[in-house]
Structure 1
């Protein structure tokens, strides 16, 4: 007798749905279902298009198919509002096809107040939300009733935010959910995690990652990725890849739907302008980035969903998870900056498990070509970047403590015990917790005399409670982790909003000035309060300036570029002009070893230059440039300035630098870094962010929102008071931690200086080196496309390469 087939683990309606499509449940989907039924938290790592999202929701569908009880069953948390909208759309269809009585809704900052109020009393079975919206839900007194029925929590794209402040906030929220609904099961989803261990720790309930099951999906076909070099030549400098506009436009014509990723919002606007200028067929091309209004972004999403666009120029706002099945090509303009980010973007193309994603990378300059080549090598070897982890931020903890007080009076001992079950705060001492609690209580002793900072107090039972109802409203209006640069709203006179521009750029515009935004040429009519009133124009326009955080070159990719640079055996894989460039560098100077810091000095145009080829990223180079020019001043070397990119730092002055090592002493630099940060605008900028997150300064009041100038003015005043009277204040400590990591990248700076101490090689040259050209052309650049000075420098170097090909390598100068 033949053995009976094993019974299906799925309810009949779900099984029939799979059968009707000729699908089989994949092993990783069954593994997630099994973990849920065992009550075990799980982290799923599976490639894009492998059914990862369905694996996360399958246990929910199975539970509710068998028992569609009232109440909230599953909470889905993603880093992006756009992703929750996409999941709602893509989840509702199969639920309807299966005939399951399951309700699905989103709750984000875009959800109306009426819907939010109804969701707290009559929640859907599945609620899709973000960390910030979850934090606000938990601040309501009815949170215990709302989450009583919770059985599952899904954290999507966990790699995108677990290691940052939004991850800190979500970890604290998960700890509170564990107290309210201890029987629920957690699931983390990602396609691009290099090292699972810290993510399992973060997902666990007591910082013990071994208790979280690790589930991996079967890899799909390898992606089809090309590095495209129009006309076989890679520019010396730049990052916009504008030289490839015609090839990009041709690709748009040949594909159904192309996503064109840019690394900055300004570059996205510039790219759209370039493509429209060479679009004789008027193919519909849209734009999508975080500064555009909700209405504009939703129109772009709708146009994509309805097949009305042929291309969409976008930024990191679309990096994650949005599933548009018609996308058949992704183009990355400029350097990828990291392998995980690149894979995430590429995964938007052919978003199916059985089809390879198709992508082009178009490097903007020669270093970016090396970076792209190394990124493809890392992807082929399945070696993804790993993100740095740091202790949980104190300003985030302060916001959470205030939210818990808004929900109900709390016991400090119990809350401390709850907070330290999270991975970000597991090493938080009780004295540190009490310091943050004291700040929430009265702002700290330097501010304690002011009523506006007296937010919580102890009642007769020893519990901490909100001192006045107005602080609850203040918290709910201002809670959140993302602190954008001060913005002004761009709108037409009829009220239609186009989006937002950074206030610093908007302040430079007056009536009659023109700029390009949201794909339109606009002329300024007036500035009314915080609105920039505009009209469409045919006049030539400039491009808006965005000062958002600069995308960092990952450490692992930086290491690969250095290794490739030093290995002549690998150069055969490179285009001929890049091979010539590196060969000329080896002849005239040196190709640095993988662990070496090459420092070159030479005179050019009457100035004495020092160029460090350190590959530690723009932020670290900017900080080091500040410090070196200060040291040059002290040494009488008359510095004139410095410029940097991700790969090199160039400083220049009126006198020659004979001893670079003296300018790079790590012990002296450490002390000077602290002094410089203490008096720099960077610390004030970081303080502004932590003051807003920590609740010290409100962005919004009932009926109005503070302008960026008002917020900055308030925080600057408080910053000066605290620096004088309480220099060890909780928020000053938090600001220092932020400034030294996110803004300055002290870790990479320290690594650079240690390498200088151990492996620095100094070459004193008779002229500019080939490796120095990409950073030197930045000096004096006055427009996006460079200018005569750039062309002159490149022509000069190319002439040297052509005429002096037999010049022996320059001699080493001992350090």
Structure 2
């Protein structure tokens, strides 16, 4: 043991703890100048594994008398503002207890302007920040001097950033910091990740590094609430809040519970349902999601830390590593859709070494019980989803180059080497590089005539931004998070509640009521991107629907579901959830079949609507959206007719007045991999979809400006601006690389193109099982309901569903 280790050992002993082996391994690796990734279960001490390496180095360094606090030593990057606040508090406490000569501060979008101004003059020794704020810090002229003494960067919850443009943005920033500080050590922290070696390599930009795994067994309990009655024809969401009494009983058994939902709208509905069922819990139930005002969110987080609240209904806003030790139970409403997500949420309870993490799942339809059982099996076996890193995001590269030019500036060859030091751009070609430089200096081939696009000038070989107006506009737009324009919601007499998407508010008229922030509100007026509201009485009929609710079933979880369905088809109902849903599965087997993992089930059904083709690839709803459109279009080419379709995570339905005869040859042609991209372009309104998606790329690349604070542009204005640029590129610069990126991202993001290709390839190897049941099967029924629900009809769709349900039950 080194003498400098003694204070750390004593610090642990004072809390009745002992350092774990993986923590000691991380400290030793840091001391040896290494970088790496620490992967360990949530609540087992990853933060301390990364933090005490720099702390030990500080304790071993003689104090520099008379020079005060050192410059920036440790940069801690987190993906969430709430996580930044919590991490800062923990680091501050341990730094004070160990008498370190360090100030620990945070800098995020929520930080006060006075704090940011002070940090502009001098950064603290330890700074906790986000990728966006780090980019902003690099945009100042003295950035090089402010970061030259940096010794360590810690990236918390790296799995949350990997595979996103925020992760790419951070890759670029880290490459720049490594260029400034050749001895810089970089450490990532992650709890739920399948591709660990790749995740480490992406983080470190190809620099050799250590992978340290905490082998501590984390006790995990995953259970389900089983509905008392099991309908044999379930449909998505039909349970709704029917399990509310069981959820309330579970809340009564625990001191503090986090109740997770998959969408913000669902969180609003569950929060309201709980309050209506237990009005005496008015002060004991709270709501937390990313669209609520920051002060409201922070208040709820404080209640959680103090353990003074019974239940918080939340979304992914509380998924990550914020330490709420008093939480002793997690409830997941609906399927988690992914194994890693379920583990991440379960880890919010028992958030300390040795404690059990418990999650209780409340399904919203019967088939979700199968998903929950599959998720538990995979979680206990350690099979987690991989996060595929992004590459060639040229819009992020353009933004980063302007950021650096706004700061100290850069030279061409040195910057190219730095850029290629990232995983995202390691294969960047000379042509792409020169296109990017031309784009930021001249606006490219089609925008040369417009001065606002000539952002960067070259002076003596150095690329710089010299126009202060361009600099101000760029700093306000730094970041890669894009979404529908958000409209502020506030009371008439003041008091902000948060933000909802402009498209939701645009559908309301003054006097309409809606549920938001756990309150029933009435819209008073809309002005200057602010929706003014007042409290309302009664029951709201509308809940804001935010983008991001299209969460598909992961490939690993879908494979687990297929395996359990095969087991059920063989008469094995080993899991309690499988036993509970047995009547549903046996009805499916009698009416059609339960497909094996190596089979593709296709059902053809006749009804008064026409003829239905139900196909079950189990590839997730995004893949099925592309696949259903593709199959319908290919059928149209061979047999002209009008086709409609619906999708869910298990399969899709194609319906027409008359379908062509179904045989293996027709299905083989419909599921062919040939001409996939051309056929997708033809069967979808690809041009219009691309125009809308281009808005996001144009914003990140700095082609459109969203407006100054307090006078932001509407979605329609931004779409018009970006649409005009899109049309100019399409007409006069068809080979523009941003257009190519738009299509690539559109197909991958909208339909998971890579997974779609894999699905088509798998279909070619599976045995096609064709069935012609007399009526809708349990697997087909939810697809039919989804289509009926989306149709405009004089007949109430719920009544129609109930009538169909009674008919099916009668005949089964």
TM-score exceeds 0.5: yes
Partner residue in 2 for 1:811:
none
Partner residue in 2 for 1:619:
622
CA deviation after TM superposition for structure 1 residue 109, in Å: 0.8
Partner residue in 2 for 1:738:
745
Establish whether residue 177 from structure 1 lines up as the match of residue 177 from structure 2.
yes
Partner residue in 2 for 1:105:
105
CA contact (8 A) 1:226 1:359 kept: yes
Identify if the C-alpha distance between structure 1 residues 465 and 92 changes in structure 2 by more than 3 Å, giving closer, same or farther.
Answer: closer
CA contact (8 A) 1:566 1:593 kept: yes
Identify if the C-alpha distance between structure 1 residues 354 and 584 changes in structure 2 by more than 3 Å, giving closer, same or farther.
Answer: same
* Aligned equivalents of 1:702, 1:472: Cα separation in 2: 15
2:48 to 37, 44, 54: 54
- Describe the SS at the equivalent of 1:778: helix
2:32 to 28, 34, 38: 38
CA contact (8 A) 1:333 1:361 kept: yes
State how many pairs are aligned: 790
CA deviation after TM superposition for structure 1 residue 576, in Å: 4.3
- Describe the SS at the equivalent of 2:447: coil
CA deviation after TM superposition for structure 1 residue 797, in Å: 2.4
Establish whether residue 482 from structure 1 lines up as the match of residue 481 from structure 2.
yes
- Describe the SS at the equivalent of 2:395: helix
Partner residue in 1 for 2:66:
none
Establish whether residue 496 from structure 1 lines up as the match of residue 495 from structure 2.
yes
CA contact (8 A) 1:608 1:654 kept: yes
CA deviation after TM superposition for structure 1 residue 543, in Å: 1.5
* Aligned equivalents of 1:298, 1:423: Cα separation in 2: 36
* Aligned counterparts, 1:291-330, within 5 A: 291-330=291-330
CA deviation after TM superposition for structure 1 residue 253, in Å: 1.8
- Describe the SS at the equivalent of 1:762: strand
Q: Which 4+ runs in 1 deviate beyond 6 A?
A: none
Partner residue in 2 for 1:382:
382
After superposition, give the CA deviation of every residue in 1:304-349 in whole Å (9 maximum; x if it has no partner).
2333321011111111101101100001111111111111110000
**TM-score under structure 2 length normalisation:** 0.94
Partner residue in 2 for 1:228:
225
* Aligned equivalents of 1:401, 1:310: Cα separation in 2: 48
CA deviation after TM superposition for structure 1 residue 583, in Å: 2.2
- Describe the SS at the equivalent of 2:31: helix
- Describe the SS at the equivalent of 1:705: coil
CA contact (8 A) 1:410 1:464 kept: yes
- Describe the SS at the equivalent of 2:698: helix
CA deviation after TM superposition for structure 1 residue 490, in Å: 0.8
CA contact (8 A) 1:165 1:392 kept: no
1:684 to 668, 684, 691: 691
Identify if the C-alpha distance between structure 1 residues 191 and 10 changes in structure 2 by more than 3 Å, giving closer, same or farther.
Answer: farther
* Aligned equivalents of 1:604, 1:577: Cα separation in 2: 30
2:10 to 13, 16, 28: 16
CA contact (8 A) 1:346 1:357 kept: yes
Give unpaired runs (5+ residues) of structure 1: 1-6, 802-815
CA contact (8 A) 2:79 2:160 kept: yes
Provide the alpha-carbon RMSD of the alignment. 2.1
* Aligned equivalents of 1:186, 1:91: Cα separation in 2: 18
CA contact (8 A) 1:515 1:522 kept: yes
CA contact (8 A) 2:143 2:408 kept: no
- Describe the SS at the equivalent of 1:780: helix
Establish whether residue 513 from structure 1 lines up as the match of residue 512 from structure 2.
yes
Partner residue in 2 for 1:809:
none
Establish whether residue 598 from structure 1 lines up as the match of residue 592 from structure 2.
no
- Describe the SS at the equivalent of 1:781: helix
* Aligned counterparts, 1:528-677, within 5 A: 528-541=527-540, 542-548=542-548, 550-567=550-567, 568-573=570-575, 574-576=577-579, 578-659=581-662, 661=667, 662-676=669-683
CA deviation after TM superposition for structure 1 residue 505, in Å: 0.8
**Stretch deviating more after TM superposition (37-46 or 403-412):** 403-412
Partner residue in 2 for 1:712:
719
- Describe the SS at the equivalent of 2:171: helix
2:802 to 788, 791, 794: 791
After superposition, give the CA deviation of every residue in 1:149-197 in whole Å (9 maximum; x if it has no partner).
1111101111111222111110110000011122221111111122211
**TM-score under structure 1 length normalisation:** 0.93
Partner residue in 2 for 1:333:
333
CA deviation after TM superposition for structure 1 residue 93, in Å: 2.3
CA deviation after TM superposition for structure 1 residue 254, in Å: 1.8
- Describe the SS at the equivalent of 2:728: helix
* Aligned counterparts, 1:203-282, within 5 A: 203-205=203-205, 207-208=206-207, 211-231=208-228, 233=230, 236-239=234-237, 241-282=240-281
CA contact (8 A) 2:263 2:549 kept: no
* Aligned equivalents of 1:49, 1:354: Cα separation in 2: 9
**Stretch deviating more after TM superposition (66-75 or 311-320):** 66-75
Identify if the C-alpha distance between structure 1 residues 640 and 595 changes in structure 2 by more than 3 Å, giving closer, same or farther.
Answer: same
CA contact (8 A) 1:597 1:755 kept: no
* Aligned equivalents of 1:301, 1:421: Cα separation in 2: 39
Partner residue in 1 for 2:811:
800
CA contact (8 A) 1:582 1:591 kept: yes
Identify if the C-alpha distance between structure 1 residues 419 and 678 changes in structure 2 by more than 3 Å, giving closer, same or farther.
Answer: farther
Identify if the C-alpha distance between structure 1 residues 680 and 570 changes in structure 2 by more than 3 Å, giving closer, same or farther.
Answer: farther
CA deviation after TM superposition for structure 1 residue 614, in Å: 1.2
Establish whether residue 80 from structure 1 lines up as the match of residue 77 from structure 2.
no
CA deviation after TM superposition for structure 1 residue 605, in Å: 3.0
* Aligned equivalents of 1:197, 1:586: Cα separation in 2: 42
1:768 to 773, 776, 798: 776
Partner residue in 2 for 1:723:
730
CA contact (8 A) 2:528 2:710 kept: no
CA contact (8 A) 1:51 1:353 kept: yes
Partner residue in 2 for 1:435:
435
- Describe the SS at the equivalent of 1:215: strand
**Stretch deviating more after TM superposition (587-596 or 79-88):** 587-596
* Aligned counterparts, 1:56-71, within 5 A: 56-67=50-61, 69-71=69-71
Partner residue in 1 for 2:123:
123
CA deviation after TM superposition for structure 1 residue 9, in Å: 5.6
CA contact (8 A) 1:513 1:523 kept: yes
CA contact (8 A) 2:230 2:366 kept: no
* Aligned equivalents of 2:683, 2:59: Cα separation in 1: 61
Partner residue in 1 for 2:135:
135
CA contact (8 A) 1:688 1:716 kept: yes
CA contact (8 A) 1:514 1:539 kept: no
CA deviation after TM superposition for structure 1 residue 791, in Å: 2.0
* Aligned equivalents of 1:676, 1:170: Cα separation in 2: 37
* Aligned equivalents of 1:635, 1:401: Cα separation in 2: 50
CA deviation after TM superposition for structure 1 residue 572, in Å: 4.0
CA contact (8 A) 1:50 1:220 kept: no
